[in-house]
Structure 1
Amino acid sequence: MTADEMIDGYVAEVVLLTPHRQRADVARELRDVITQEVADAAETRPDRDAAVTAVLAGFGRPADVAARYRAPLIVIDPSDSRRLLTLVIGGTTLILAGAVLGELIDHVPPHRDLAAAIDRATPFLFAWLGLLVAWFAVAAWWRRRHPDTAWKPRPVPTDRISRAGRTAALLFYILGTLSLADPATMLRVVSGGHAAPAAYTAMAYDRDFLAVRGPIVLGLLVLSLLLQAVLIGQGRRQSWSDQTEMALSLTLCAVLTWVLANPVFVSAAADRTAKEIVAVIILISLADLAFSLRRHRVRQAVLSH
């Protein structure tokens, strides 16, 4: 292949990767630039073929050269890449956790197959990834179409808490804890004593659960309630309270996962319903834990300045 043929081939590859209306101008400009650089290189390289080879190698791949002549096709804004990665990791974690929890609920040893559960979750993973890409692509398109979209100020994170909101939440959690401690009594109070006898039988806890797992869960719930009471008394968050709250939440999620692996209620129907509710609570708690960690870091960054 001669030097001119190498130049023609290189220019042709570049031109084919550019918009049709620009090809004539791109071919003319690129050929002129290459010819001039080859002429300059010929002063030190008498062999014209070697000079052309060196110049074209310096230009790089035709695709890279063509990219300089056209506007890049941006599906997702670079500024969104970190947020996208965070949501990919977070969503993937929750989907896989949900698959594992579902396997714990649906099967008992030795019939549990966590690998098969993860395989069944694969379509949901791809659906989540596709949804994220579509969402961020639409967001990027909207920002390009509306570049005048103004940034809206947000409240500055503080370490203060809403005592009224926390108190209401604490009362709700206390009521829920009492219901878990004695569900039959709570059913009697709610129904006015008119519930069917079978309903009280369904509310009976498994003996092994009452012996070990139940007291551990109850102890963690009581510790969480005490921590909330301390926060209400202080009226503000502190680093130790944030870390303690997140540690308690993570520990409780681990213990509840352990609970799912064994019977909770004597009644099979009540046991499955309770475990499904617990699985949802675990997933919500994991998501809230991730958001709490982010809020803690943002608050620390703001308050440290």
Structure 2
Amino acid sequence: MSHPTAARFTLLALLGVSLSPAFADETSAGGASIGESFSIAQAEYDQALALTPDLENGRRTYLTCAVCHRPEGWGTADGTYPQIAGQSRTVIVKQLADIRARNRDNPLMYPFSLPRILGGPQQIADVAAYVAQLPMTAHNGQGPGIDLELGGPLYAEHCAKCHGERGEGNETDHIPAIAGQHYPYTMRQFDAIREGRRKNSDPKMVKQIHGFTSREQAAVLDYASRLPLPPEKLAPEGWTNPDFPAYVREPMGLPPMPTISPAPPSGMMEIPPFPSLPAYPTTTTPER
């Protein structure tokens, strides 16, 4: 595990990539100490990366992920779910291992990451390789674009050294790619780190984030959301994932409601009539 310097921490843990031993005595949401959670996550990370990925099994495993991240892995432009398509394999493995070891708190994703749902280290290796090869959309959620003159220099000073000048990340050091990521998602993660809700954030990173004003935060993340993607990573316009031919794509970009198969018996899903209120006796005011 690398120990980055302060300059690395502006956006380094937007997807959670490091843990300082300073947290070793704290307790995770699962009851284990943070140090124990880190050790569990690191062991599974090492194990998964040592395995040979099976893309076909990764496609099957990704069915669990597609519920929220969508078949293309593009998430949602409002930032509810991040774009994971094209993300480095090491980053995907690291996040899955961290979340299920409770080394990174993510209540929404935690149930989907459990071994009984997602599988073991082989399935992590497989799905990470599958996600990494998915083409990305350039139509990610972006910021307002009103302060890019400030965001550009901030990115060059604080972020480019680790995340790359083009936001491509670093696979060797499992530093996430941030080009193409949704602006609302990075804003939310930035806030979570600053407020201490990202338990695997390095204290030096938290300290540096506290030095950013709200304007600087918005400006640098807006700039990052507009970094151009390399042509080889872009999906063709109108592309849909052919591995999910039966997926119903709905208007307005909202996830479809799950279908029930087989259909429930007639009347089971109907709302019963509201029971009528009992009749209460009327009262009269006695004459005086």
**TM, length-normalised to structure 2:** 0.20
Give 1 or 2 for the bigger CA radius of gyration. 1
Greater share of residues in helix: 1
Greater relative contact order (Cα < 8 A, sep 6+): 2
**TM, length-normalised to structure 1:** 0.19
